[in-house]
Amino acid sequence: MTMFLTPIVLTVSFWASLIYPVGSCHIPDDIVAARAPGDIIIGGLFPVHRLVENLTHRTQPGPLHCSGFDPSIFLHVQAMIYTIEQINNSTFLPGITLGYEIYDSCSDVIAAIQATERFLSKFNSSDSRIEVHCNYTNYNPNVKAVVGGLYSEISIVVARLLNLYLIPQISYGSSAETLSDKTKFASFFRTVPNDNHQTNGIAQLMEHLNWKRVAAIASDDAYGRAGLKSFASHAARLNICVDFHELIPIFKDEYQNAKINATAEMIVKLNAQVIIAFVRSSEIIKLFTTLIQRNISKIWIASDIWSNSVQVASIKDIEKIGTILGFTFKGGTIPNFKDYFKKLQFYPSDSNKIIKESISFINRRNAKPSCKNSNSQGNKYPKYYQIVEMFKEPSIYGVYLAIKAIAYALQKMFNCTQENCNQNFNFPPWQLLNELKNVKFKTEDGQFEFDSSGDFSNGYNIIKWKMENDSIQFVNVGTYNVMKQIINFSRDLEVQISNCPQTCRPGHKKTVSTKRLCCFECNPCPAGFYSEKNNSNECLECSEDYWSKAGSTKCQHKSVEFLQWKQALSVVLILFVILAVLIICVILILFTKYWRTPAVKAAGGWMCYIMLFSLVLGLISVVFFLGKPFDYTCKIRQPLFGISFTLCVSCILVKSFRIILAFTFNPNTHKKLKYLYKPVPVIIVTTGIQVVICSMWLSLKAPKPVRNRNLPQMILLLCDEGSYVAFVAMLGYIAFLAFVCFILAFKGRKAPEMFNEAKFITFSMLVYLIVWVSFGATYVNVGANNKYYPVIEAIAILASIYSILCCHFIPTCYVVYFKKESNVESNYLTHAREHFKQKGQFVCPVTNIKRHSGQPVSLIQVMTDPEFECQVNQQFNETNQNKNCQNQTLDTTCLRKRHKSV
């Protein structure tokens, strides 16, 4: 043993002088405590051992026994001690000596809580007691700040305790995202980024390397669960499929072993070649050992917790596990730290447990060359500074940054100069906390400062495990910038895998295969979507003015469509409009020429001109349904048709009412109807109602031109009717008047043949109702997604106009022009007299009839003249009727007096 220790240059005697029980209570050797006195004490919490023994069999709160010495953590402890000594030996804090109390958390929460209780003991208390207060504002614990711990599971519990007193805590390795929540952990800081950056970086790495199928495993603790959840969210955002995920317990027992074996079985069956591992070193060692025995090779992505673990790298046949890439915190070099170890010596007589464990570790390392450097000199025993080279972990540099941050905060709080500081050491920790939030200082890579969440987000290195000379080397292959979220590679990774057996061409997208989990199938983009690149995860939608066929790689402009003037259907409609106008002109000529004839007067007389004028306006409205829609055409066409046709139907309503009045024989009914017969007011009122409807339509929600983009390949220029309620009200009102005309005309259908306009009115109104009911059904079914939908209403308007012309005017024109011999007054009166006889009615002859202005008098004039009523009541005796009318000629004069027209 003496021969073994002689070549070792490093000393741990310094360590032995520092390690002794703290306070008045006894501290077991397993909870290693290193202490140095000082004006201001800084606490340290390090997992020097990997576990607490027999936790599951613990029955009383006795001493804790730890095992599994971790030499890398020994270097973390030395980094803290070295940095504090360097500050004490400088003029950085003149007149102030920093001390420390360092405890072993044994990688377990229980041991960490026990250590934290000692941090909370009162300042200058001989019995290391913790006092209970209602208000801790002025509470002054022995330790002013705590450095640690390494694992997030431990830091979360410790931070909860320290947060009550607002004692600053700076972790050098805990990266759980929840620790950035200042509402829960107001006094927590760390010298590493939070895990959200790391998981996002891993997902970015998967995306960069086009690895779309991965598996994920994690320790069943706060760090592992949060990391797994965070990575899953980032992976989903980048369309990376997590084929399998599992949690591994952190307690060393039979259940953990069974879970690791089950996880190994799942990995054997996995299709995914890439596995993300947020697992502690102790658990990953067990899993890798099992997989190496099964000869399973995968691509592993290591999180920061084990990415540069020498213990994992020292596993036998580790190279058989496959390719290992890892994310590590960006580190740095502690000035003169290497020389510090070269100058130290220790002695075999040192009996402290941690020194014994260190010597034992050196003995074990002698059996195998160093992981980083083989002993090219042939020396059987490695020098201890070579171990320092092997353990260049970024978290060691994090310890150095944590002590420096505390020192800078103290310097500002004490207003230190190069000569002295304000020496008031009896201060509550929250004062130091406020200074830490704003601390800034220069490092070799830039400036150090905590962000608003208490994190130092300096980024990550991406490393690759490479076997050289029978040892693993951690080779930097790239970096991840957490601020820009960009991965940069300094060398080729030389890692290629095939996610799926095919490549999706442009015009297609990848969809999850129903046959192979996390693999994909290529499906063509649907119509209206496109993709330009290979292996597109989704199809992009064309903008509203573009379209595409299914499976397209780009979009095309939609054509702009409307009912143009030059189209055949438009030409046909215009020809019908012109024809109707010509017919109206002919009718006007004939009616004007034969104005005095009974046929023209029976057709309506002066109302015929109003009707023809309204029909012309209706024909003009048809024109506005054709061509490109403009704002004024959309606003004019519907009201123009509605008002003009209402005017026409109002005149027909008056005519229908006049027929009922002329051939009503009951004196009382006749008198009432005659009182209601006011042609001009009726026309004005009925048309005025439609004017009000259209005016409200235009003022509240008028029609306007729109671009209908609902069709896949074209944009339709159409008129939006604005308020469809008003549109229906306009048409419904005309339909109501037409229905009233139909009822009145139907009642007067038995008038004399030569006066039988009622039949034509009945037919024309029936045609109108049928046309517009058909229009409504067609309009609803076709809708606004057809450029020919305005034609439907134009055809309905033309059909209505032609029905009026054919039923009301053309028969009269035929009589006027071709039946001139029957277009005489006596002929009309004779037909009327025969009609009355057939109905059992008698008309008294009148021998002296006064003509007005020499104009002929029609039957209707006679029937409506109140001065010449001679209808004989059917209750008179037929004999008396014959006597009263004896020796009088039944000439046409009596009929003329009875049927005076309006």
In tens, the pLDDT along 796-824 reads 899 989 988 888 888 888 888 887 766 66
CA distance 285 to 290: 9
CB neighbour list of residue 662: distance below 8 Å, 6 or more residues apart: 751, 755, 859, 860, 863, 864, 899
Most confident of 252-256, 292-296, 359-363: 292-296
Output 133 or 804, whichever has higher pLDDT: 804
Q: Which amino acid is at 450?
A: F
Beta strands across the sheet bearing 98-104: 33-36, 98-104, 40-46, 143-147, 169-171, 188-190
- In which element (H, E) is residue 282 found? helix 281-293
Expressed in angstroms, the distance from the first to the final Cα of the chain is: 142
Can you give the pLDDT at residue 783?
Answer: 65
CA distance 311 to 307: 11
**pLDDT band at residue 128 under the 50/70/90 scheme:** low
Distance, C-alpha 824 to centroid of its chain: 82
Q: Which residue has the tokens 């590679």?
A: 489
CA distance 742 to 749: 10
CA distance 341 to 826: 143
CB neighbour list of residue 875: distance below 8 Å, 6 or more residues apart: none
Structure tokens, 80: 């803290």
Output 312 or 604, whichever has higher pLDDT: 312
Among candidate residues 293, 236, 241, the one with its CA nearest the CA of residue 271: 241
Among candidate residues 511, 501, 607, 627, the one with its CA nearest the CA of residue 563: 627
DSSP code of residue 321 = G
With a pLDDT cut of 70, the percent of the chain lying above it is: 75
Structure tokens, 568: 């055949």
Bridge partners (DSSP) of residue 901 are none
Lowest mean pLDDT segment, chosen from 203-217, 370-384, 441-455:
370-384
Total residue length of the chain: 902
> Maximum Cα–Cα distance for the chain, whole Å?
172
Can you give the pLDDT at residue 674?
Answer: 67
Structure tokens, 147: 């450095």
CA distance 402 to 397: 9
What is the per-residue burial (b if ≥16 Cβ within 10 Å, else e) of 20-56?
A: eebbeeebebbbbbbbbebbbbbbbbbbbbbbbeebe
**Domains, the chain, with CATH or none:** 508-557 (2.10.50), 568-823 (1.20.1070.10), 828-898 (no CATH)
Question: Cα–Cα–Cα angle for 67, 69, 75, nearest 5°?
Answer: 150
Task: With beta carbons less than 8 A apart as the criterion, state whether 619 and 578 touch.
Answer: no
Peptide bond before residue 149 is cis, with ω within 30 degrees of 0: yes
Structure tokens, 591: 């009616």
How are beta strands 241-248 and 274-278 bridged, if at all?
unpaired
Bridge partners (DSSP) of residue 871 are 843
Question: Cα–Cα–Cα angle for 774, 776, 778, nearest 5°?
Answer: 70
Task: With beta carbons less than 8 A apart as the criterion, state whether 269 and 279 touch.
Answer: no
3-state secondary structure of 707: strand
The full 3-state SS of 45-100, as one line of letters, equals: EECCEEEECCHHHCCCCCCCCEEEECHHHHHHHHHHHHHHHHHHCCCCCCCCCEEE
Structure tokens, 96: 């102030």
Q: Which residue has the tokens 């990953």?
A: 284
Q: What is the pLDDT of residues 509-540, one digit of tens each?
A: 877 665 555 667 788 999 889 998 887 888 99
**pLDDT band at residue 606 under the 50/70/90 scheme:** confident
CA distance 745 to 761: 6
Among candidate residues 726, 729, 737, 769, the one with its CA nearest the CA of residue 647: 737
Q: What is the pLDDT of residues 707-742, one digit of tens each?
A: 888 777 888 888 888 888 998 999 899 989 888 888
Q: Within 13 A of 40's CA, how many CA atoms are on the CB side?
A: 30
Q: Which residue has the tokens 């899993």?
A: 287
Among candidate residues 148, 160, 40, the one with its CA nearest the CA of residue 102: 148
Cα dist. 297→261, 267, 268, 322, 821 in Å?
16, 10, 9, 4, 115
Give DSSP secondary structure letters for 397-440.
Answer: HHHHHHHHHHHHHHHHHTT--SS---------HHHHHHHHTT-E
pLDDT, mean over the chain: 78
Q: What is the pLDDT of residues 39-67, one digit of tens each?
A: 999 999 999 888 888 877 777 887 888 88
Q: How many CB atoms lie within 10 A of CB 132?
A: 7
User: Residue 347: pLDDT above 60?
Assistant: no
Q: How many CB atoms lie within 10 A of CB 429?
A: 22
Structure tokens, 204: 């970015």
3-state secondary structure of 388: helix
Q: Which residue has the tokens 């020429």?
A: 593
Can you give the pLDDT at residue 383?
Answer: 43
CB neighbour list of residue 531: distance below 8 Å, 6 or more residues apart: 506, 507, 508, 509, 525, 538, 539, 540, 553
Task: With beta carbons less than 8 A apart as the criterion, state whether 573 and 564 touch.
Answer: no
Q: What is the pLDDT of residues 270-288, one digit of tens each?
A: 877 899 999 988 899 999 9
- In which element (H, E) is residue 322 found? strand 322-329
In 249-318, beta strands by DSSP E: 274-278, 298-302
What pTM, to 2 d.p., does this model score? Answer: 0.54
Q: Which amino acid is at 575?
A: L
Q: Within 13 A of 403's CA, how many CA atoms are on the CB side?
A: 30
Counting Cβ atoms within 10 Å, is residue 777 exposed (0-12), middle (13-18) or buried (19+)? exposed
CA distance 85 to 775: 98
Output 95 or 387, whichever has higher pLDDT: 95
Task: Kindly report the backbone phi and psi dihedral angles of residue 625, in degrees, each rounded to the nearest multiple of 5, phi listed first.
Answer: -85, -5
Q: Within 13 A of 328's CA, how many CA atoms are on the CB side?
A: 27
Bridge partners (DSSP) of residue 348 are none
CA distance 290 to 325: 20
Q: What is the pLDDT of residues 654-703, one digit of tens each?
A: 887 777 766 555 566 556 666 667 788 888 999 999 999 999 999 998 99
Q: Which amino acid is at 153?
A: E
Counting Cβ atoms within 10 Å, is residue 113 exposed (0-12), middle (13-18) or buried (19+)? middle
With a pLDDT cut of 90, the percent of the chain lying above it is: 26
